[in-house]
Amino acid sequence: MRRSRAWPAAWAAAAAIASCVVAHAATLPADVRTALERAGVPAEALSVTLLDAASGRPLFDWRGEVARNPASLAKLLTTSAALERLGPAWSWHTPVWLTGPVKDGVLEGSLQIKGSGDPKLVLERLWLLLRRVQQMGVREIRGDIVLDQSAFAPSDAAPGDFDGETLRPYNVRPAALLLNFRSVLYTFVPDAAAGVARVLMEPTLARAQPERTVPLAAGACGDWRRALDASFAADGRTRFAGSYALGCGEQTWPVADPAPASYDARLLEGLWRGMGGTLDGRVREGAAPEGAPSFELRSPALAEVVRDINKYSNNVMAEQLFLTLALQAEPLRPATPQTASALLRRWLAERLAAPQAGPPGERLGERPGDAASDAVIVNGSGLSRESRLTTRLLARLLAVEYSSPVMPELMASLPLAGSDGTLRRTHVASGRAHLKTGSLRDVSGVAGYVLPANGRRLVLVAIVNHPLAPAARPAIEALVQWALMRSPPGEHGARAERN
């Protein structure tokens, strides 16, 4: 049948009218509204976008054009960009130099290490690095241990700038050579016979003087950290003036070191001496040599790092990856948050420039709130009060990534509902949803993929911004359950529901 030339215009007009009708008819699911009312959160504080993952076709949109603080959902931008730009098998290389001859177990020079942003230079891998040095015949270092931090520009930000919690490990600032997250893990082990809880410290830092025991108290556990009445001093002195309840069993307490500027030196000196090594000089910062290194320590593959970032919402690792993107784009310039943010915005604009399926007026990419210009990217973790993006933008990105070569690695990195990561304890959509979570004091959200019974995967993004946002989690769970009950349209299915 031959169509007249007037058909496209008539079709577009009809589509626009139908779209408006659906917009006024659409509403949040009843269970979601009820949960919001119970939480005391207005429906206007919620944004939701639901897409068919394979086609990008919008299925439901509630205030999806409103820019919201995404909290940790911002990690999806950082990790998606990294997987695409660097590749899942990419790894960090940390070069090491022995700057002098080795004779009779003595290095007549310095041991020099240059950071490249590796987010997993944890204690075990540092031990392997120093063990490699010993295997090269070194037992005594006549010079210094020199650390090159020049790959990342110095930051003016302090650990407590975000929320004043300077001892929280999530507030540790990124560094080109970030050793063991600049944190200490305290483990409390009750010894009922001795009437004390033994305090184990890992790692052992040079010149650290922690208390080794704390009095044991009877009764239930309660707020055991407050009961310890702890003080963590910058000079390495850790005091527990309170007590530890027997009912707590064994507990661990990760603490960001109160003196991060000297942490690397104290850690390496303590670790090297603990391995039987001798250091005649000191641990200090300095420039690495120009020549080829003696060896390199390689990180785990990027796909593994991305999994840690998204499954457990690791802020410090996300910031390391964020700056690494800038460093890899311009290796001769120290990476800064500003250059990393600009790079991520450019990448986002390029990825969202691809045309979407569906007729005019139905494509999500043609609607307000779905442009990269709507995103405010402050850092790579989402640990910010200023970050902003829309659910439409993030949903479209996830739909684009669903058809990308790195989709398996990205999806596998997201918490699996009821199984692992930050969704391990949820009872909603167990095993049928891969969703990144986002939480701050006034933010609660999820973003990822859900799998209804018909096997056609959907993209779901939901964000609440409100002082009572944590109380709105049941509403978000109801949204996930509702999405699982939907039947996505086929290639020529119904248009999206819109607010």
**What are 233-245's pLDDT values in tens digits?**
888 789 999 999 9
Q: What is the pLDDT of residue 187?
A: 97
Given pLDDT bands bounded at 50, 70 and 90, which one contains residue 373?
Answer: confident
Residue 488's pLDDT is what? 52
Partners of 160 in beta bridges: none
Query: How is residue 32 written in tokens?
Result: 């979601």
Band (pLDDT 50/70/90 cuts) for residue 208 is confident
How far is residue 487's CA from residue 485's CA, in Å, rounded to a whole number?
7
pLDDT in tens, 129-145: 999 999 999 999 999 99
CB 194 within 8 A of CB 246: no
pLDDT in tens, 40-73: 999 999 999 999 999 999 999 999 999 999 999 9
Q: Is the per-residue pLDDT at 4 higher than 70?
A: no
pTM of the model: 0.90
- List, by residue range, all CATH 3.50.80.20 domains of the chain: 93-161+262-300
Q: Which residue has the higher pLDDT, 272 or 14?
A: 272
Average pLDDT over residues 472-489: 88
Residue range 75-103: mean pLDDT, rounded: 98
pLDDT score of 35 more than 80: yes
Q: What is the mean pLDDT of residues 20-32?
A: 65
Judge whether residue 370 has pLDDT over 80: no
> What stretch(es) of the chain map to CATH 3.40.710.10?
25-88+306-498
Per-residue confidence at 211, pLDDT binned at 50, 70, 90? confident
Q: What's the topology of domain 25-88+306-498?
A: Beta-lactamase (3.40.710)
Q: How far from chain centre, in Å, is Cα 33? A: 30
**Amino acid of residue 282:** R
Does 2 score more than 90 pLDDT?
A: no
pLDDT tens-place string over residues 331-367: 999 999 999 999 999 999 999 986 554 444 444 444 6
- For the stretch 156-191, pLDDT in tens is 888 889 999 999 999 999 999 999 999 999 999 999
CA distances from residue 198 to 71, 123, 210, 237, 460 in whole angstroms, order as listed: 37, 22, 11, 16, 47
Per-residue pLDDT tens for 212-238? Answer: 999 999 989 999 999 999 999 888 789
Provide the pLDDT for residue 367: 62
> Across the chain, what does the average pLDDT equal?
90
**Region 16-44: what's the mean pLDDT?**
74
Backbone angles phi, psi at 398, to 5 degrees: -65, -35
Nearest CA among 454, 411, 453 for reference residue 434: 411
Provide Rg for the chain, Cα atoms. 26
CATH fold of 93-161+262-300 reads: D-tyrosyl-trna(Tyr) Deacylase; Chain: A; (3.50.80)
Q: Name the one residue in this structure whose structure tokens are 């970032």.
A: 309
Give CA–CA dist 393/372, Å, rounded: 7
pLDDT greater than 80 at residue 18: no
What's the pLDDT score for residue 7?
33
SS3 216: strand
* Choice between 18 and 122, residue whose per-residue pLDDT is larger: 122
